[in-house]
Each structure stands twice: as structure tokens, then as C-alpha cells.
Amino acid sequence: MSQQTITKPDPVEIRGSSVRRGDRVFFNLSRGAGILMLAITGAIGVFLAWKAIPSLQSDSANFFTEQQWFPDAVPPVFGIAALAFGTVVTALVAMVLAVPVAIGIALFISHYANRRVASTLGFIVDLLAAVPSIIFGLWGLSVLMPNMQGFVAWIVKYFGWIPLFANPEQVYTKSILIAGVVLAIMILPTISAVTREVFLQVPQGHIEASLALGATRWEMVRMVVFPFGKPGMVSAAMLGLGRALGETIAVALILSAVFEINWQITEPGGNTFAANIALKWNEAGPNGLSALIASGLVLFIITLVVNMIARLIVARRKEYSGANS
């Protein structure tokens, strides 16, 4: 009578099967979350378009080129030209001022400062990123605006030959320039914090190899840190740009609600989508509310386009990500 051999399952196979099952569950949950986010984003776009149709049908002017904003008049006359101009220009001014400073702060914290100083500065930057926008707006209104008149006068005096700064008559306290400075201070901590984390992910072996070959600290940063961190820097800048485009309260407090396009950034001119919605919502009638939603739809599309451009830039620079190293 032969003895029957009973084989026990290999514990390694059991663990492997469990891991594979967990991977499938995680994959399905991740895919479901991604599909849900796309569905929510699409639903928001559809809702905004649906609510914007009545005002767009009643508008007697060109919605994209008109600078006036009288959606509740008879006949309604309104457009987004001045809003788009103010939104884009203030955001660009903020980016020009904030991005170089933010990258410099991130670089100093990650590769130049000693551990104690870097920890302190990192904590301060993270703390500034959490400050509410209303605080920045009140600070800009009560502190920055009165103290920037001398600086603006100096710019007008010595750089007035540049069309952007041509302002021969007087110095204004509310202008696109000051609004851009406030936005730059607001987005600087966000860009700096994200960029710092990217710089800290540079492989230590690459840094040590560069220094061992005789590179100076700056040469190491230029040849190792910046190429590795380019996608992260682009993502951080686009994140800051998204916040600058959609900022509401701070811009509403600083920027004059002037519905005209003025290329002199030291003067009042233009308004932003978000600030206009915040200021006009309570006093708007039915058609005015629909018009404000239509302007919000345009801001929604601009934000999507900015994010898509950022993703394309990052995708084209995958060779710098270090994933294949």
C-alpha cells in the first residue's frame, strides 16, 4: 500500500498571489479615482457652459473683444477682453518676479545652507504657503501700496521710455504692477516649496560624482541639479501660475475694477475674472449671474490649457527626470 504524499502550497507563491491581488485592487482603485476626477472636471465644464448659454445668447456685443461689462442693461453689453487682459498680465508679472526668487530660495535651502538654517528656512517657506490670501490682500492694501509709491516713481522716471512703464502724469497706488507684486509674494512659497523637494530628490551619487570630477558647486548645480529638476521646476511654476490666475480676494482689494485695456502696468487698467466674479456676484441680476458664469467658464478653460501645456513640457523632458539612470 503506497503512502500518499500531500504537498503543501509554497508560502512564497501564496505571498506572491496576495501581492498581485493587492496590486490589482490598487490599480483598479487608482483608475477609478482618475476616471472620477475626469468625470467631475467634465461635469463642471458642462455645468458652466449650460449656465452661460442664456447670457451669451442675449449679449449684443462681441463676448471676446468687448471691454464693457453691463450684462443687466437693455440691451446687455459685456465682454471679457479687459478681464482676460488683467488676469493674464497680473499673472505674468507675478511669474516674472516670483519664479527666479523661488528657485533661488529652493536651491539655497537644498544645496547651500547648512542643516539648521535649511530646516528653519524650509519651515518658514512652508508656513508662508499656508497663509490665507485675505492676509496677503490686507497686507498689500495697508502696507505695500503706500510704501511702493516711491519705487513706482523711480521706475517711471528711469524706465519710462519702456511702454509698460510710461506714466508721465502721476503715480497711482492701485495698478497692475502692485497687484502683480502681491501675487508674486503669494505664489513664491508654493513654487519654492515644490522646487525644493524636487532638488532634494537629485541622486546623491550624481552630485558626488560631479564634485569628484572637479566641478565647482555652481557647475554641479548647473550640470546635475537643474537638468534633473527641470520637470519639477516647470510643474512648480505652473502650479504657481494656476494660483495666480485664479486668485480672488487679494486682487479684488488691490486692483482697481477698471474695464479697459491699459498696457501701462503702473496705472489702473483691466480686471481679473476671479475678482470681477467676487465683486459683481451679489449685485448681479439673472443675466448678470449668467454672464459671470460665462467668464468663469473662460477662466476654467484657460486653467485647463495652462495645465495641459505644463504636462506637455514635462512629458517632453522625461530624459531629465533621472528615471532611466
Q: Which residues contact 106 (CB under 8 A, 6 or more apart)?
A: 191, 192, 193, 195, 196, 198, 199
Please report whether residue 138 resides in a domain: yes
pLDDT at 320: 44
One pLDDT digit (tens) per residue for the chain, 325 residues: 445 555 555 444 444 445 577 788 888 888 888 899 889 988 998 999 999 898 888 888 888 888 888 888 888 888 888 888 888 888 899 999 999 999 999 899 888 888 888 888 888 888 888 888 888 888 888 888 888 877 877 887 777 777 777 765 655 667 888 888 889 988 898 899 888 888 888 888 888 888 888 888 888 888 888 888 888 888 888 888 888 888 888 888 887 777 778 787 877 767 888 888 888 888 888 888 999 999 889 989 988 888 888 777 767 655 444 444 4
Q: Cell match 455645468: residue?
A: 47
Q: Which residue has the cell 519639477?
A: 232
**What is the predicted pLDDT for the residue at 271?**
80
Residue 173 confidence (pLDDT): 67
- With b for 16 or more beta-carbon neighbours within 10 A and e for fewer, the 280-307 pattern comes to beeebeebbbbbbbbbbbbbbebeeebe
pLDDT for the residue numbered 39: 92
**299 lies in a domain?**
yes
Q: Is residue 169 part of a domain?
A: yes
CA distance 271 to 264: 14
Look at residues 77, 62, 80, 140 and name the one whose alpha carbon lies nearest to residue 270: 80
Q: Contact 153/167 with Cβ under 8 angstroms?
A: no
CA pseudo-torsion sign 109, 111, 116, 117: negative
Q: Is residue 15 part of a domain?
A: no
Residue 6 domain flag = no
Task: Please give the radius of gyration of the chain, using alpha carbons only, rounded to the nearest integer.
Answer: 26
Asked if residue 316 is part of any domain, the answer here is: yes
Task: For residues 131 and 66, give the distance between their C-alpha atoms in angstroms, rounded to a whole number.
Answer: 36
| CA dist., res. 187 & res. 118, Å (int) | 20
Q: Is residue 290 part of a domain?
A: yes
How many separate domains does the chain show? 1
User: Could you list the residue range(s) of the whole structural domain that residue 106 is in?
Assistant: 59-320
CATH number, position 100: 1.10.3720.10
Rounding to the nearest 10 degrees, give the CA dihedral for residues 70, 74, 79, 83.
10
Write down the pLDDT at residue 96: 92
Where does 165-285 have alpha helices with state H? 176-200, 204-212, 217-220, 226-246, 249-254, 273-280
Q: If we measure between CA atoms, which residue out of 184, 295, 80, 258 comes closest to residue 303?
A: 295
Rounded distance, CA 221 to CA 195, Å? Answer: 14
- 30 within a domain of the structure (yes/no): no
Residues 6+ apart with CB under 8 A from 195: 102, 103, 106, 107, 229, 232, 233, 236
